[in-house]
C-alpha cells in the first residue's frame, strides 16, 4: 500500500509541511526532511523550484529563486534523495510544475521517483484531463499518486471528475489566491469547506494555502483530514534557520 494511503488511514488529523528543496542552503534538503519527521510531521511536500511558479505567493517564490541560485535542479534533488528511505518513513510528495518533469521525461521522472521512494506528485499546472488521458497509466505503473487541487471556484462536476480519477487525497485550496499565510478563515471559506464535506467524496481532503499556526490548523482540520503549511514554515526557516524546526512544529501540534 502506498505510504500516503496508509497515513490517511490513521485515526488522526494530519500535518503536512511544504518546503522548497535547496533552501535556505543547497544541502539543507535531507536534514529538513529528517527533522520534520522527528518532530511529528505526518507528510512532507518537497518543492522542486521553478522559475515561473504561478500558484505561489511571494514567500515561496523568493525561496524558489534562492534555491535555483543555490544550484538546485531536478538532478541535484534526485541525488540528494538517493538514500532518503534509509532514514525517513513518512510519505514524501514532490510538488512542482510540469515543465521540469516534461524536460526530464515524464516516464523517466516517475521511474526515478519510484526508485527513491517518493509516494506522490502535486503538479498544479498539469490539467486533470491531460493527466487522465496521457499520463495516468505511467503514474500507476510506478506506484505514484497524483494529487489534484480544487478551489472555491471549481465546479461540482469537475470536483467529482477529479475524485473519480484520484487515489489518495484531494488538495483543497482554501481560497482563490496564491499561497501565503493568513490569520484565519472567514465565513466564505467555512461555507466552502462545509460544501465540499457534504459532497461525500471518495478521497479525503487536505486543506492548504493560508494555514500558518495552531489556530488555522485546528480550524482547517475541523473540516478535513489534514492541513498543509507552506509559506509560514518557509518564513520560519528564513528567519530562524533550520535549527528552529522543532520550535515551529511544536507550536502547531502542542
Say what the pLDDT of residue 54 is.
Answer: 61
Say what the pLDDT of residue 161 is.
Answer: 97
Other Cβ atoms less than 10 A from the Cβ of 10: the count is 11
Percent of the chain with pLDDT over 70: 95
**Whole-angstrom distance, CA of residue 62 vs CA of residue 66:** 6
pLDDT-derived band at 98, boundaries 50, 70, 90: very high
Tell me the whole-structure pTM to 2 decimals. Answer: 0.94
- For the chain, the domain total comes to 1
User: Pick the residue with more confidence: 96 or 183?
Assistant: 96
CATH of the domain at 75: 3.20.20.70
Q: Which three cell numbers stand for residue 183?
A: 490569520
Residue 3 lies in a domain: no
**Whole-angstrom distance, CA of residue 174 vs CA of residue 132:** 24
Say if residue 213's pLDDT is above 50.
yes
pLDDT digits (tens, 9 = 90+) for 14-38: 999 999 999 999 999 999 999 999 9
Average pLDDT of the chain? 94
Residues carrying an active site annotation: 45, 56
pLDDT digits (tens, 9 = 90+) for 128-162: 999 999 999 999 999 999 999 999 999 999 999 99
Whether omega for the bond prior to residue 24 falls within 30 degrees of 0, making it cis, is yes
Sheet containing 14-20, strands listed edge to edge, beginning at the edge strand earlier in sequence: 145-147, 120-122, 92-95, 43-47, 14-20, 226-229, 205-208, 170-173, 149-150
Residue 8 lies in a domain: no
Residue 238 lies in a domain: yes
Say if residue 230's pLDDT is above 90.
yes
Residue 150 lies in a domain: yes
Residue 114 lies in a domain: yes
Say what the pLDDT of residue 57 is.
Answer: 75
Over residues 201-220, mean pLDDT: 95
Q: Which of 45-49, 175-179, 233-237 has the lowest mean pLDDT?
A: 175-179
Over residues 224-249, mean pLDDT: 95
Residue 4 lies in a domain: no
Say what the pLDDT of residue 183 is.
Answer: 57
Under a CB-based contact definition with an 8 Å cutoff, are residues 118 and 93 in contact? yes
Query: 148: which DSSP letter?
Result: P
Maximum alpha-carbon separation in the chain:
45
Say what the pLDDT of residue 185 is.
Answer: 81
**Whole-angstrom distance, CA of residue 210 vs CA of residue 219:** 11
Residue 9 lies in a domain: no
Residue 249 lies in a domain: yes
Say what the pLDDT of residue 176 is.
Answer: 55
**Phi, psi at residue 203, to the nearest 5°?**
-95, 135
Grid cell 535556505 in the structure block, residue: 24
pLDDT-derived band at 239, boundaries 50, 70, 90: very high
Q: Give the DSSP H or E segment for 77.
A: helix 74-80
Name the residue among 34, 123, 41 with its Cα closest to residue 80: 34
Domain limits for position 97? 14-253
Amino acid at each position: 500500500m502506498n505510504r500516503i494511503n496508509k497515513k490517511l488511514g490513521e485515526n488522526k488529523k494530519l500535518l503536512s509541511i511544504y518546503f522548497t528543496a535547496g533552501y535556505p542552503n543547497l544541502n539543507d534538503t535531507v536534514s529538513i526532511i529528517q527533522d520534520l519527521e522527528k518532530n511529528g510531521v505526518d507528510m512532507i511536500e518537497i518543492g522542486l523550484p521553478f522559475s515561473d511558479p504561478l500558484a505561489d505567493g511571494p514567500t515561496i517564490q523568493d525561496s524558489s529563486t534562492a534555491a535555483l541560485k543555490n544550484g538546485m535542479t531536478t538532478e541535484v534533488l534526485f541525488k540528494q534523495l538517493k538514500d532518503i528511505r534509509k532514514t525517513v518513513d513518512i510519505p514524501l510528495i514532490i510538488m512542482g510544475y510540469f515543465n521540469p518533469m516534461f524536460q526530464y521525461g515524464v516516464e523517466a521522472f516517475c521511474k526515478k521517483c519510484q526508485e527513491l521512494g517518493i509516494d506522490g506528485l502535486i503538479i498544479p499546472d498539469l490539467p486533470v484531463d491531460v493527466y487522465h488521458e496521457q499520463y495516468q497509466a505511467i503514474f500507476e505503473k510506478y506506484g505514484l499518486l497524483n494529487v489534484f487541487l480544487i478551489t472555491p471556484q471549481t465546479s461540482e462536476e469537475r470536483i467529482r471528475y477529479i475524485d473519480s480519477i484520484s487515489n489518495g487525497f484531494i488538495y483543497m485550496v482554501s481560497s482563490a489566491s496564491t499561497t501565503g499565510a493568513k490569520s484565519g478563515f472567514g465565513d466564505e471559506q467555512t461555507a466552502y469547506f462545509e460544501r465540499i464535506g457534504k459532497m461525500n467524496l471518495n478521497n479525503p481532503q487536505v486543506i492548504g494555502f493560508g494555514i500558518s499556526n495552531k489556530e488555522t490548523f485546528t480550524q482547517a482540520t475541523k473540516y478535513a483530514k489534514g492541513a498543509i503549511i507552506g509559506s509560514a514554515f518557509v518564513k520560519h526557516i528564513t528567519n530562524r534557520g533550520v535549527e528552529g524546526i522543532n520550535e515551529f512544529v511544536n507550536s502547531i501540534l502542542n
